[in-house]
Amino acid sequence: MVQTRSRVIVIGSGIAGLIAAVEASRNHSVILITKSNLAESNTHYAQGGIAAVVTDDDTVAEHVTDTLVAGAGLCWPEAVNVLCAEGPGRINDLVALGVEFDRQGETFARGLEAAHSHPRILHAGGDATGAGISNALVAAVRATSTEIYEHTFLVDIATEVDADGRKKVIGVHVFDTAGTRFIEADTVILASGGAGQLYRHTTNPAVTTGDGVAAALRAGAVLSDVEFYQFHPTALAVPGSFLISEAVRGEGAVLINAAGERFMKNLHPLAELAPRDIVARGIQAQMMAQGGQPVLLDATALGESFLSERFPSITAACRSYGLNWATAPIPVTPAAHYWMGGVATDSWGRTSIPGLYAVGEVACTGAHGANRLASNSLLESIVFSHRAVSHLGQPWPEDAPAARWGAQGPLLELELTDHLTADAPAATNDADAARRLATQVVDRVELQTMMWDNVGLARTRTELESTLEQIRGWRPADPAHRLFPDWEDANLLLLAQALTQSALARHESRGGHYRLDYPETSPALARPITIARKV
């Protein structure tokens, strides 16, 4: 049934936002807002590919099992089943939209990545999958009637209380060269990605400052699982942390320490293809044992011809740093890569605020649990973007998105202090002025360094509490004088507190959250931690 035509605002131009815009434009008036150019996103830089069951020797049930195992007991089974079952159909949609996946004859070429029981990773242009998908979808969006606002920053999500006393979305406040303005809408679809810029070392591009998650939190939406950040095991140990795809290890490359010894064989039966959190911590332990020096990824056995054809982008990146990975191992280190947590949603992308959807990395659907299975991220984006658009205009359930939480036990809701919110007002009296003199404007590099050191791969109560104390001594710049970077810094500061408070509250180690003072996994804590703004 065709829904009544309404105005839909999509925030973000990665795969989730582009798919949402293409699909929503069929029956609705769509505005797509992105703070950079249309093609700039995490999607564009994705190397490994997209996981889906596309052959008879693999099954959806096995993909589900692999996802649940990687998720370390925190996945929401309903979301996982949706992800894996609807994935093959969404791959066909991408092909119809012009994505050209690599093929072997008449079938898709498939790679193997960590924790997958079958080769099921589709790729394009060797290791340029993200660029191939992004380019095709950008062209598809430009062919629709979608209004595109580039270089436009999401400041806040606007809400009002309806006749039933329930908050609902009415539009967004944005900032561009003309200043701050309001754009009215019936629905807002957040697809603004993660927050890799919280950390000093990240594989993410500069635009990933968590703007959508922060705006949702300020608007009153509930977040979930924000303590779970995935650190990719293998980023090139050079400025910029260039990603070395997991597919390289899937093809046979191995990790060695300074003595030339493979160390992952002693840590997990799958060795280099163990879940990402295990490999990342294994690398960290080796680096600590050898004075902080990077470990080495040895792909020399694969041969120069194969590496150049299968991984042309990585080969070129290595050459740009004077490295020839066909003849010598290359230095690698973990780096922040993907946020499992985000704005809590149900299996249709609906958040706790009617009219506000979240899809892609900005969302927490529960499909990834505590540790995302490799190459499930692009899949989640296309599956849940389609589902969100299919429900536009339908009634909003009273309990969205609480079904997951209710099924897994009691909730722990944390509150945030208002002085760290990005819309904190400028000083208007002596008391306000005194409070601001007691704090300093946040410095992004200091924040990133502190988060890397204290809230990174390994955490302790002492370091987490120290981090919170420092965060409370910082404030965002006054809104009246902000440029894009100032808005970003305000968002990062807010999210740093949310992530750190949630990490402090989880007294166990699970997936991407590792506590040195609570090294074991507690079955009693196999439930989400939710967080909301103090009101």
Residue numbers annotated as active site = 276
- H helices of 391-513, where? 403-408, 430-437, 444-454, 461-472, 484-505
- The string over 200-232, giving b where at least 16 C-beta atoms fall within 10 Å of a residue's C-beta and e elsewhere, is bbbbbbebbbbbbbbbbbbbbbbbbbbbbbbbb
Tell me, letter by letter, the H, E, C secondary structure of 244-298: CCHHHHHCCCEEECCCCCECHHHCCCCHHHCCHHHHHHHHHHHHHHCCCCCEEEE
Measured CA to CA, the distance from residue 133 to residue 377 in angstroms comes to 13
72, two tokens: 């370390």
Q: How many CA atoms lie within 13 A of 463 on its CB side?
A: 17
Please give the order of strands across the beta sheet that includes 342-344: 363-364, 342-344, 223-224, 530-533, 413-416
Measured CA to CA, the distance from residue 494 to residue 415 in angstroms comes to 12
Measured CA to CA, the distance from residue 405 to residue 472 in angstroms comes to 30
Burial of 92 by CB count in 10 Å (0-12 exposed, 13-18 middle, 19+ buried)? Answer: exposed
410, two tokens: 């009691």
What is the distance, to the nearest Å, from the Cα of residue 326 to the centroid of all Cα atoms in its chain?
31
Sign of the CA dihedral running 282, 288, 294, 298: negative
Q: Are 379 and 422 in contact (CB under 8 A)?
A: no
Q: Residue 84: CB partners within 8 Å, gap ≥ 6? A: 53, 60, 63, 64, 67
Measured CA to CA, the distance from residue 487 to residue 177 in angstroms comes to 14
Measured CA to CA, the distance from residue 504 to residue 507 in angstroms comes to 7
CA dihedral 86, 89, 91, 97 (to 10 degrees): -130
Measured CA to CA, the distance from residue 490 to residue 477 in angstroms comes to 7
